[in-house]
Structure 1
Amino acid sequence: MDNQEEVLRNDELLAALEAFREEQNPANEQAFVQGLVEAVFVAPVNFTEAPIIKENGDVEIPEGSEMRLLTFEMENGHSVFPIFTDLDAFNAGPIDSEDPVHPWAMSLADYLPLLQNDDSENIEGLALNPFTNGMPITRDNLAYIAGMVAAQEGDGDAEMQIASAEDIIPTPLRYELIGLADDAMGAVEHMHLLWLTNGATNAANYLLVVDGPDKDAFQELYPRFAKAFEEKAGEEGSAVDIVAAADFDVDLSEFTSLYDRNL
């Protein structure tokens, strides 16, 4: 990888993708979306001047060299950005280009601004592993993910509106979430349930913010939390994003707490 020291694998994302394919439910969707957000992908790129490989293996990009992301053309004449979870998937098929193709590490966040430009109307989204176990990621999917990321980062310029879900949470869902937190034996210390609304599209969903002493421990509960929304969310719908409080750059003190273990 020209700009990545470690070999990319993204095994957790691939496992989440396989689970989502087998059963498309909110829990598996949440795991897959979170995997996309956290992943680093292999992108095919060209350079106007070829990178220089030094004796120690480091890569030097010549001054003034420009990087160009490659796209794949679809049958309807539109295009997608191909992204790959690893070099095996990257090398599984031919990438047509007049210039040498280089693998380059890119995150989903790197693509979001590219798809918001006026000159990107012809780009329909991303194609994950198009040569093997592929999955299309449409512009609508990316808009949803962008809203989720903006909410996690507390982006004040974003069109996502954040409110407490205290007044709309169904009682069965409330007790189910509290019960799951209690059963976790200290893994969960605090939870806030919020309501996200996209000001541009009016699409809305729950956001569950979880905190505890061991992030890995309470993240293992995410599928069970998502299952609770699937079964007990009621008329507001079961769509939910679940994030760690440490990754959610918003002052939670202004929102009513759903669960506090210390009380």
Structure 2
Amino acid sequence: MDKFKEHNEKLLQSIDILMEYPSIESERNVYLELENAVFLMPVVIENKEDMTILEGRVVRVTPGSNLRVAQFNDEEGASLYPAFTSMDEVDKWEVDLEQNDIYLLEMDMHSYMEMLSENESADGFVIDPFHYNLVIRNRQLARYQEILQEEKDREMLRNPMSRMMDELRDHPSAELEEKIYNAFASFRFLMPVIIPNEEDVESVTEEQVATIKEDGEMQVIPLENESGEKVFPAFTDLYEVNKAGIDLAAKEHYLIEMTFERFEALIETSEGVNGFAINPFTHNVVIEAPQFAHYHELLLEEEQRQEKARLAAEEEAIENLEDAEAYQIKKDAHNEELEKVLSKEMDAQGNVHRAYLLEKEYLDKTHYLVVMDKERDGKSILGDLRDAAYPVLPDKESLEFLSYTEPEAQEYVKDVTPFYEKSQKRGIFGLFKGKK
């Protein structure tokens, strides 16, 4: 297959849809596909040293090279640059390239826009003039750029499933495929349908997503690939639906939500349909009927995994409850001892008043706060603080000194009213943390 035709396959599909079903949306889709397209433009190159031959008569040239570009005229005499999408389309020109010393320059949309900005005599370019003859004029380029910007904005809102499909297309892996299959269990696709009888529509949203009555009738038109196999379309979001060029404003045309299970049931009752294609105009990931069993296996494994995780969480909750009860017993006993300590006035070198226990975290991360009457320099008060905290724990060395600056200590106690009130009356705090 011609590599240029293969590269431009999505553009060609979008142009086919535009030609058969002209609409604002189908035109928009062509503009979007132009961004990634590669064209061939016939040129005569004055200095052959400026060019690099890629394949046959296809070349690239050094920027600023002196070129003569073949131009076509439309019915009104306007000059247009030709943009061929494949070698097959170039052949339809019926010009002997070698005899006329013509080469084919690889071009993209930005290259054409740059040329048009430098040549006021050209009115645009024409895609495949001997087939589609699709003209993109200068005045349309502003709209093209607007659509690209809109697309970037919409890209931020695309469905997560669509992003996963992007990743699967660009970086296929069994792990990602399994992840997508597991996501099917809770995912809702959009499928275009025709509902001939309006009374069969129970409700419909602004986006034309309909809910059909239980006994309502609908028609689904499957897609057919090059091999003649039929599949139902499954779109992840409205962004993907729009690429199909379907006019949802037309009478009887709607979208309905579909789950994996609904597709499975629909395919079982639809003769000749072998699966469904996810985003057929972007990703075209086909899930065929033989794969359904594999999906159910993955779904069962996921359910078993979730059940195992649920049971483990329950066991952990029970253990935490038992730990919490044991902790409360330990805490009550500890506080009882602390009350005995705090019931006595402590006078370490005549400066330390009290050692207060401040529970901030669980078990071994208990904090001890020492409140002092007056300021001293850090070195001299540190010993006082350790002495003051000593009665709380049997070993002074098990305490880690954290801070003796007022702002830092207040940060620990500001949400505990009694300590915070005392902080307004005392000048220095010492904060310790019990080590394991």
Aligned to 2:239: 222
The structure in which a higher percent of residues are helix is 2
TM-score, normalised to structure 1, is 0.52
What do residues 63-87 of structure 1 show as CA deviations (whole Å, max 9, x unaligned)?
Answer: 9852333211345443001101101
**Relative to structure 1, is the Cα distance of residues 211 and 47 closer, same or farther in structure 2, using a 3 angstrom cutoff?**
farther
Aligned to 2:79: 79
Shifted more, 64-73 versus 223-232: the winner is: 223-232
For structure 1, list consecutive stretches of 5 or more residues without a partner in the other structure: 1-5, 154-191, 194-206, 233-263
Whether the 8 Å CA contact 1:43–1:83 is kept in 2: the answer is yes
| 2:210 is the counterpart of 1:210 | no
Aligned to 2:126: 127
Q: CA deviation at 1:147?
A: 3.1
Aligned to 1:12: 10
Secondary structure of the residue aligned to 1:38 is: coil
Q: CA deviation at 1:209?
A: 4.4
**Relative to structure 1, is the Cα distance of residues 46 and 211 closer, same or farther in structure 2, using a 3 angstrom cutoff?**
farther
Number of matched residues?
174
Aligned to 2:90: 90
Secondary structure of the residue aligned to 1:85 is: coil
Whether the 8 Å CA contact 1:112–1:146 is kept in 2: the answer is no
What do residues 73-107 of structure 1 show as CA deviations (whole Å, max 9, x unaligned)?
Answer: 34544300110110100111135999511111101
Whether the 8 Å CA contact 1:28–1:223 is kept in 2: the answer is no
Q: Which has the higher contact order (CA 8 A, sep 6+)?
A: 1
- 1:11-160 matched pairs, under 5 angstroms: 11-50=9-48, 51=51, 65-95=65-95, 99-117=100-118, 119-120=119-120, 122-149=121-148
Q: CA deviation at 1:7?
A: 2.4
Partners of 2:75 and 2:46 in 1: how far apart? 28
Give the letter aligned to residue 7 of structure 1. Answer: K
Partners of 1:77 and 1:144 in 2: how far apart? 23
For structure 2, list consecutive stretches of 5 or more residues without a partner in the other structure: 169-234, 251-436
Secondary structure of the residue aligned to 1:140 is: helix
What do residues 134-157 of structure 1 show as CA deviations (whole Å, max 9, x unaligned)?
Answer: 21112222221133345667xxxx
Give the letter aligned to residue 8 of structure 1. Answer: F
Partners of 2:22 and 2:58 in 1: how far apart? 42
Partners of 1:64 and 1:36 in 2: how far apart? 24
Aligned to 2:202: none
Partners of 1:147 and 1:134 in 2: how far apart? 23
Whether the 8 Å CA contact 1:27–1:224 is kept in 2: the answer is no
Partners of 1:21 and 1:142 in 2: how far apart? 20
Q: CA deviation at 1:32?
A: 1.5
Q: CA deviation at 1:214?
A: 2.0
**Relative to structure 1, is the Cα distance of residues 219 and 15 closer, same or farther in structure 2, using a 3 angstrom cutoff?**
farther
Partners of 1:208 and 1:61 in 2: how far apart? 37
Whether the 8 Å CA contact 2:126–2:133 is kept in 1: the answer is yes
What do residues 208-244 of structure 1 show as CA deviations (whole Å, max 9, x unaligned)?
Answer: 8426332538788534257799649xxxxxxxxxxxx
**Relative to structure 1, is the Cα distance of residues 209 and 66 closer, same or farther in structure 2, using a 3 angstrom cutoff?**
farther
Whether the 8 Å CA contact 2:159–2:236 is kept in 1: the answer is no
**Relative to structure 1, is the Cα distance of residues 48 and 229 closer, same or farther in structure 2, using a 3 angstrom cutoff?**
same
Whether the 8 Å CA contact 1:36–1:108 is kept in 2: the answer is yes
Secondary structure of the residue aligned to 1:34 is: helix
Whether the 8 Å CA contact 2:32–2:148 is kept in 1: the answer is no
Secondary structure of the residue aligned to 1:104 is: strand
Secondary structure of the residue aligned to 1:113 is: helix
Partners of 1:58 and 1:95 in 2: how far apart? 15
Whether the 8 Å CA contact 1:31–1:223 is kept in 2: the answer is no
Q: CA deviation at 1:62?
A: 8.3
Shifted more, 11-20 versus 221-230: the winner is: 221-230
Partners of 1:59 and 1:36 in 2: how far apart? 21
Whether the 8 Å CA contact 2:82–2:128 is kept in 1: the answer is yes
Secondary structure of the residue aligned to 2:35 is: helix
